[in-house]
Structure 1
């Protein structure tokens, strides 16, 4: 019997599970420690808490960090790169711009493929897709002989102008796959648009993580199949959709941000429940702090990101990440207190975990301040050692000449300031005022810091979902299958060839249909969205505009408006040109409905207990509430602590709290309450 729908998100410290039981119409959640030595082990342990017979699982969606971790830790595959003869140095030269202009010690990141592993092949395709030099097959066989001799794990192929004509890349893959059993990544599959260095970088990253992602997914597929699950595993994509694990093995690049993106999609679904269409979503776990935005009810998606100094040409939810989580380590440098980016992770973890950690972390500081209950962490699943936390914080306090309590507050204040700056990077630096947004906090540690961060940014409202501790996994259950395609087409708006544009759109739609059909989506069930990358003539970067009817006058108007919104200026009389055409294909999946409460209890909530908590260096008796006791219509005021089995909500004085019909928690400053609620 198909009974359960599962979402699983692997983080640096915890693996989160959300189970929707269709039979009982309830959600179950669980957090288990991540198992870095074998990520599948932690996933199976989490699932096993609620589902014993995996044949009862109807739908399984998963966010994996296997590719991202391999990339960040430089533990990816041994990759060979094949390029057109004469262009061996494109990848190493990169761009001449300095991303840190005033840093005299700035160094470009070392490439993922060294020059000795880059091979040139005699062939040439021109900018319009014409073949002027066919592939030299003898030359290709020589290269394959070298690939065999050096035991490469993966091959990346990026030929000149393959975005216009991929025939040569396709030929190379066909021949290599006959001779070698290793993944081959083609630029024409991964990034079919111009800008040579960016295209090479993107293709190399895909190849770099492909064997790691493939190995992990193969292990997971094998283990769940042994336990009775015979259906497809769906993998969360960085673009906000999902794909089957079969497609993920071919396009692992799209798994890079699959965990944090689940929370963003969950935030998008919250807009339908709350009516707030502009959200700043913050996901704070044990290792990182991820910021994303929902604007007018839709996730903020970018066609290009820069990660660890490498450009990636692929549609992704725009997420800004910093090393600030519950496991971020506090340390002293030049007499000053620092927090992060290094994390204690899940092993050994914070000192209070009792697993050998000695350095103080943000979690240790919160425990010292009384914000976390040592006996009720994760619903009592983990017993914390408060004395170990005190000793860890003391080791830093002694170095800077402050008390343990002052140091603990200092650790939290520094972490909060860093996280507020991360939000400013995604908003203020782009001309967006965060005060116009609602802050949505989730992750194991997000609700613990959200209200304090909102105060630093003068934001008026904080929203904590009822499944905040495992919200990213919940968000994954609200997604659809998605596939993005792109074609390079450069022309002034006044010189557009409509027949050629329509031909490209049709070609992309047929490619999308083929991919979605492989994922059990029927052709008549696929939705398409056409868009177009536009810029002023003479500019380098583009703005993506939805293109529903090829109405170029409307495209021009929308572009001028979008340019003004993004950059603060525009030139309505300026000439504009098209650079890329894009198609996004969606395949709708069944979603579990959010359970709504109909019994409103308009009354002050009753605290479950009280305990001493430090607020502004003053210890104060504070009400502690349990989410198990809170009902629709309940309200109370800070200071307060709200405990859930997967997270803890810290609410300082002068804040008002209410519970909505979905048991989500809304927090507003008491001085701003009427303004927000009206």
Structure 2
């Protein structure tokens, strides 16, 4: 069987899972913010060394059927508001107010658009329209707008704007200041959703465009037969050229949700809440009765959009989130040190404190085993940064600062998911991501959850979840008031579009599943088609409990539990334990590329599948 490569690019670390049948190879590498295509190739090169005994990227690529890629770069950019300045041109004076109907949406509109709004008269001669457009485009670009979104009152008005712009501005100028026409970008019955989709896509686009096309260019040098696939937030994959930036938002967490659903099925759990703790954000989502909650029209930071999305919430609480002091209080995020410079303990020049620095000084992390021993951590740098930015400003000792920083971080983490718990009280938290297992138990206890499940592949679990995706394209057409003959013609046209797109994906339409449906939205009848080419999917071993036995400790670690108290804590290597192995906390469990902290009052059990089951008996 040909291999399938799944890559999840985070703000600090990039994860890779290479699958071939039931065999998995996985590893992690530092994200390279200056050139994100570099960490993609670094990850694949590391994986090839594990597979072949030495680095052999060419052989790995030539034995691979597809490379599926997801990125949190768009999510992180929006959380931190790091993107281009957007300008809005419209002939609807009421539109700005319609786009900010709540405090949250109004704040987002202010951050992304601000005062860069050009109002065009709804009437006037072509010459007057031309003069207005030229004046407004010049004004908005002078005000710093790097991308423009055009939202006309009608499709005809937008087409008129487009013709006028192309006539009055040379194409090289329109290329340097890209213009998106909202009605062309998204088919929708709601104008606010449609316009917001255009604004958000324009904001996210440059974040992902450069490195994706750079990666495709580098892959061509290896004569890779199949193109790079982008994993989307609707759970499917497609070529870079056949997707849009907006569909990459929160795509990594959707992979985590697909993996979480597989866990729920394997362990027979009705309600599982994922907390995927990356470097910059924590992504939270729920699986109920083995189903992922999906919104036909998704929502991003309180803004409704035109595309389907799973219900995932991203908050600026991650392993590299900056912990600082503001107005005498300890704060966590949303800004992150990312991979460059990274946490202070990485030794790359970081000058801000993070939970990674805290856990190192508490003794939870072993400075010699981080990332499976691939990166030595510098406790001295962490100590200096925490003293300077937290302990000294608060007038407290280093030891007290560590305990308070950990408590603040755990509280922030608990708040990120507490309101999504099942009202029946039977929620299990699935904790993964590089930072998830470290503080999951303490956050779960704060939120009133007594069961935590840490998969063996926790450190790369979102990348693993991408393994459940297929190649797919979706289409919608309003057929309100159409006759049967007209609907037949629309079906024929939509199927022709699907055939063309799936051919460009590398597959004949006869190899694909076609799912037709009819929807009613805002009084309009909509014909929908989804064309899917199925790829191989993995299975998770049954989670049935094995015969209990005592877990075997590999040693002990000195872990601080209070400003004046240090405990000698047993350390267990997850991969060395037999199924059914159990132990009581306090304990540390070292898994592949992750460290899990098991507090006092919790017990640990290793499942048949090799996952870590944690229970609060306190």
- Both proteins in one fold, TM over 0.5: yes
Distance 1:166 1:409, change over 3 A: same
Query: In the alignment, is residue 389 of structure 1 matched against residue 382 of structure 2?
Result: yes
Distance 1:227 1:523, change over 3 A: closer
1:36 aligned residue? 33
1:612 aligned residue? 558
Check the 8 A contact 1:63/1:258 in 2, yes or no. yes
Residue from 518, 528, 531 that aligns with 1:583: 528
* Runs of at least 5 residues in structure 2 that lack an aligned partner in the other structure: 49-56
Q: Which moved more, 1:476-485 or 1:405-414?
A: 476-485
Distance 1:378 1:497 in 2: 62
1:17 aligned residue? 16
The CA deviation at 1:585 is: 1.8
Residue from 311, 316, 324 that aligns with 2:309: 316
1:26 aligned residue? 23
Check the 8 A contact 1:10/1:64 in 2, yes or no. yes
Please list the CA deviations of residues 142-180 of structure 1 after superposition, one character each: whole Å capped at 9, or x if unmatched: 969997997997664544354xx9995998699799956
Distance 1:397 1:458, change over 3 A: same
Distance 1:385 1:315 in 2: 44
Q: Which moved more, 1:72-81 or 1:620-629?
A: 72-81
2:97 aligned residue? 93
Q: Give the 3-state SS of the residue equivalent to 1:398 in structure 2.
A: helix
Distance 1:4 1:117, change over 3 A: farther
Spell out the pairing of 1:480-519 with structure 2 (5 A cutoff).
Answer: 480-486=470-476, 512=498, 514-519=500-505
2:517 aligned residue? 530
1:447 aligned residue? 437
Distance 1:500 1:166, change over 3 A: farther
Q: Give the 3-state SS of the residue equivalent to 1:631 in structure 2.
A: coil
Q: Give the 3-state SS of the residue equivalent to 1:292 in structure 2.
A: strand
Query: In the alignment, is residue 267 of structure 1 matched against residue 260 of structure 2?
Result: yes
Check the 8 A contact 2:273/2:428 in 1, yes or no. yes
The CA deviation at 1:442 is: 0.7
Please list the CA deviations of residues 289-322 of structure 1 after superposition, one character each: whole Å capped at 9, or x if unmatched: 1111112222222244554565433211111111
Query: In the alignment, is residue 603 of structure 1 matched against residue 604 of structure 2?
Result: no
Query: In the alignment, is residue 60 of structure 1 matched against residue 55 of structure 2?
Result: no
Spell out the pairing of 1:360-509 with structure 2 (5 A cutoff).
Answer: 360-395=353-388, 396-425=390-419, 427=420, 432-433=422-423, 435-486=425-476
Check the 8 A contact 1:169/1:186 in 2, yes or no. no
Distance 1:363 1:195 in 2: 44
The CA deviation at 1:482 is: 3.7
The CA deviation at 1:509 is: 6.2
Distance 1:448 1:212 in 2: 30
1:570 aligned residue? none
Please list the CA deviations of residues 350-377 of structure 1 after superposition, one character each: whole Å capped at 9, or x if unmatched: 2211222233211111112111111111
Distance 2:135 2:392 in 1: 62
Residue from 586, 595, 598 that aligns with 1:651: 598
Q: CA RMSD in A?
A: 4.0
Distance 1:243 1:230 in 2: 15
Q: Give the 3-state SS of the residue equivalent to 2:199 in structure 1.
A: helix
Q: Which moved more, 1:218-227 or 1:297-306?
A: 297-306
1:4 aligned residue? 3
2:53 aligned residue? none
Residue from 295, 301, 305 that aligns with 2:294: 301
Q: Which moved more, 1:111-120 or 1:217-226?
A: 111-120
Query: In the alignment, is residue 665 of structure 1 matched against residue 585 of structure 2?
Result: no
The CA deviation at 1:44 is: 0.9
The CA deviation at 1:286 is: 1.6
Distance 1:71 1:107 in 2: 9
Distance 1:106 1:244, change over 3 A: closer
Distance 1:99 1:329, change over 3 A: same
Distance 1:283 1:221, change over 3 A: same
The CA deviation at 1:464 is: 0.9
1:45 aligned residue? 42
Check the 8 A contact 2:75/2:314 in 1, yes or no. no
Please list the CA deviations of residues 441-481 of structure 1 after superposition, one character each: whole Å capped at 9, or x if unmatched: 11000011111222122223211111100111111121123
Q: Give the 3-state SS of the residue equivalent to 1:49 in structure 2.
A: helix
Q: Give the 3-state SS of the residue equivalent to 1:477 in structure 2.
A: helix
The CA deviation at 1:599 is: 12
The CA deviation at 1:392 is: 2.8
Q: Give the 3-state SS of the residue equivalent to 1:314 in structure 2.
A: coil
1:109 aligned residue? 110
Distance 1:342 1:273, change over 3 A: same
* Runs of at least 5 residues in structure 1 that lack an aligned partner in the other structure: 124-134, 535-576, 672-678
Check the 8 A contact 2:193/2:306 in 1, yes or no. yes
Q: Give me the TM-score of the superposition, normalised by structure 1.
A: 0.77
2:343 aligned residue? 350
Q: Give me the TM-score of the superposition, normalised by structure 2.
A: 0.84
The CA deviation at 1:512 is: 4.9
Check the 8 A contact 2:298/2:310 in 1, yes or no. no
The CA deviation at 1:257 is: 1.6
The CA deviation at 1:233 is: 0.9
Q: Which moved more, 1:301-310 or 1:446-455?
A: 301-310
Q: Give the 3-state SS of the residue equivalent to 1:418 in structure 2.
A: helix
